[in-house]
Amino acid sequence: MTASDSPPATQPQPLRPRRSCLAVPGSNPRFLEKAKGLPADQVFLDLEDACAPLAKPGARKNIVAALNEGGWGDKLRVVRVNDLTTHWTYRDVIEVVEGAGANLDAIMLPKVQSAAQVQWLDVMLTQIEKTVGLPVGRIGIEAQLENARGLLAIDEIAQASPRIQTLIFGPADFMASINMRSLVVGEQPPGYDVGDAYHHILMSILMAARAHDLQAIDGPYLQIRDVEGFRRVAGRSAALGFDGKWVLHPGQIDAANEIFAPSQDDYDHAELILDAYDYYTSEAGGLKGSAMIGDEMIDEASRKMALVIAAKGRAAGMSRTSAFTPPQS
C-alpha cells in the first residue's frame, strides 16, 4: 500500500501562520501547561530530542493529556515523533493519534531522508484515522530535513503525500551530518568569512516548498538569551521568503512574530496595490494593464508580489491604516 492508496475523503487543513513555532518538551507537564498561554502561532510537543529515552513513554501520556485538556486557543498543535531509524516512532504515532487525534493538527517527522518515510507516516495515519473514526487526511505532516541525504531527496519528499504542510530546516543535526566545523548552531562556521554557509540549504528547502505550495520553516537558534542574535539569523531566512522559525524560549516569540510578518507600511502598500490594480483593470478604471500610483507603475507582476505581502499581513491579523481612493473623473 502507498500513500496514493489513501482515500481522498478529507484534505489536510489549510495552511495557517507559522511565524513562531514553539518547541515544548513532552516530558515536562509544567512547560506544556505554560505553552498554552504563550503567543506562538504553533506549538510542537516534542517526543524526540527534548525527551530522554526513558522519559518517552511518559511523555506520550503527558502530550495526550495536554492536547485533550484544551486551552490552546487558535494555535497549531503539532507533535514531533522520533525518527524512523528508532524503535519508538510507531508507538509515538499510535498512542498520540489514537489518544488525541481529534485535537491534533499535524505530526512532525524528523530526519526525513526519503519520500518513502513520509509515505509510511501517511499510511499509518490513514489506518489510525479509519480505526478510531477520525476524518481521513485531516492530520497534516511536517517534514524536517536534517542531513545531506534528505536535502538531495527534497523534491521527492515535498510531494510524497498530500498531507505535507511544511518543510523544516534542522540545523544542528545537519551541521553534524556534513562535518561543518562549528559548535554554534545557525552561526557561520569559523573561517567562512564570505557569504552565507547555509544559503544553499535554505534556498533548496525554500524552492521545494514553493514548488509544491508548502510552508518553509527555519530551525532553532540555541543561544536563547541572545535575542539580537536570534533576530539577525531569523532576518536572514525571512528575507529569503521563509514563513517562520522555531523558538525555544518565550523571549524569542515576539521577535519571530515581528520578523516573519510584513511591516505596517509594507502591508498597507500591498493592499493599496491590490485595490488600485483591481480598479484600473476594471471598466470603471479604463481596462488598463498597467497604471501609476504616484510615481510607481503597477502591473500584473506587481499584483502577484503584493498578494504575497498582503496574505502574510492578513494571516498575522494586521489591519490596514489607509485605503485606495479612485481618481475623480
Below-50 pLDDT ranges, the chain: 1-9
Are residues 115 and 76 both part of a single domain? yes
Are residues 158 and 301 both part of a single domain? no
Longest dimension (CA), the chain: 75
pLDDT digits (tens, 9 = 90+) for 64-118: 999 999 999 999 999 999 999 999 999 999 999 999 999 999 999 999 999 999 9
Q: Check the CA dihedral 117-120-124-129 and report its sign.
A: positive
Are residues 219 and 271 both part of a single domain? no
Question: How high is the pLDDT of residue 7?
Answer: 46
Map residue 237 onto helix, strand or coil: helix
Q: List beta partners, residue 244.
A: 217
Q: Which of 218, 243, 259 is the last residue of a domain?
A: 259
Map residue 150 onto helix, strand or coil: helix
Question: How high is the pLDDT of residue 4?
Answer: 44
Are residues 113 and 43 both part of a single domain? yes
Q: Check the CA dihedral 168-174-178-181 and report its sign.
A: positive
Question: How high is the pLDDT of residue 188?
Answer: 87
Q: Which of 243, 259, 275 is the last residue of a domain?
A: 259
Question: How high is the pLDDT of residue 193?
Answer: 82
| CATH label of the domain that carries residue 227 | 3.20.20.60
For cell 509515538, the residue is 92
72 inside domain: yes
327 inside domain: no
Kind of pairing, strands 76-80 and 42-46? parallel
Are residues 226 and 301 both part of a single domain? no
* DSSP single-letter state for residue 299: -
Kind of pairing, strands 296-298 and 291-293? antiparallel
234 inside domain: yes
324 inside domain: no
Are residues 70 and 193 both part of a single domain? yes
Nine cell digits for residue 126: 490513514
Question: What is the residue range of 244's domain?
Answer: 3-259
C-beta atoms surrounding 163 within 10 Å: 25
Q: Which of 217, 233, 259 is the last residue of a domain?
A: 259
Are residues 249 and 296 both part of a single domain? no
Are residues 201 and 302 both part of a single domain? no
pLDDT digits (tens, 9 = 90+) for 217-250: 999 999 999 999 999 999 999 999 999 999 999 9
321 inside domain: no
Gap between the Cα atoms of 125 and 134, Å rounded: 10
Question: How high is the pLDDT of residue 327?
Answer: 84
Are residues 255 and 282 both part of a single domain? no
Nine cell digits for residue 212: 509544491
Could you tell me where the beta strands, DSSP code E, fall in 5-149? Answer: 20-25, 42-46, 76-80, 106-109, 140-145
Q: Count of domains in the chain?
A: 2
Are residues 203 and 146 both part of a single domain? yes
Are residues 74 and 184 both part of a single domain? yes
CB 68 within 8 A of CB 100: yes
138 inside domain: yes
Question: How high is the pLDDT of residue 6?
Answer: 46
Are residues 249 and 271 both part of a single domain? no
